[in-house]
Each structure stands twice: as C-alpha cells, then as structure tokens.
Amino acid sequence: METSSLLDRITINPLVCHGKPTIRNKRYMVESMLEYLSAGDSIEELLIEFPDLEREDFLACIQFATKALKTKTYHLAVA
C-alpha cells in the first residue's frame, strides 16, 4: 500500500480525542497503538484485541510516526 493512502487512515479532528491523531476518526489514538506495538504486542495480536481495525491501520500509525520524526521543526498549536 502506498504511503499516501496509508496516511489517509490517520485523522485529526478536534472533536475526537482532543484533536490527537486517531485511526479513521475512531477513538483509537495513534499514540496508544504505537505504545502497544513498542511494548511487544504484534499486529496480529492487536487485530484480535481490536477487531474493527485493519492491518493497514497499524502500518499507518508506524508511517505517521516515521514522518513526524523526520520533521525538523515542531509547531505548537495555540487554542
């Protein structure tokens, strides 16, 4: 799957999870899914735990984090 189509799965909506990046506008935060993966859970295990998510959703989280880390400057949002 292309990077751009994977990243389309990540949404930022101020009305969902306080504007944090989520998977497909659901209440699954990218940050939380990355924490599961970094703790050693496999994508296959997480697919069982979260049956409404797809393998590509987890790949999108990883891709999103990779792109975020490549950013040279960070901007704070002022509300």
Q: For 39-65, how does the pLDDT look when each residue is reduced to its tens digit (9 = 90+)?
A: 999 999 999 999 999 999 999 999 999
Q: For 4-27, how does the pLDDT look when each residue is reduced to its tens digit (9 = 90+)?
A: 689 999 999 999 999 999 999 999
Q: Is residue 75 part of a domain?
A: no
Q: Is residue 79 part of a domain?
A: no
Q: Is residue 32 part of a domain?
A: yes
Q: Which domain holds residue 56?
A: 3-70
Of 7, 45, 42, 46, which is closest to residue 23 (Cα–Cα)?
A: 7
Counted domains in the chain = 1
- pLDDT of 1 strictly over 60: no
Return the CATH number at 63.
1.10.10.10
The band of 36, judged by pLDDT with boundaries at 50, 70 and 90, is: very high
- pLDDT of 37 strictly over 80: yes
H helix intervals, the chain: 3-7, 30-38, 43-49, 55-70
Q: Is residue 77 part of a domain?
A: no
> What CA–CA distances, in Å, run from 36 to 15, 31, 79?
24, 9, 30
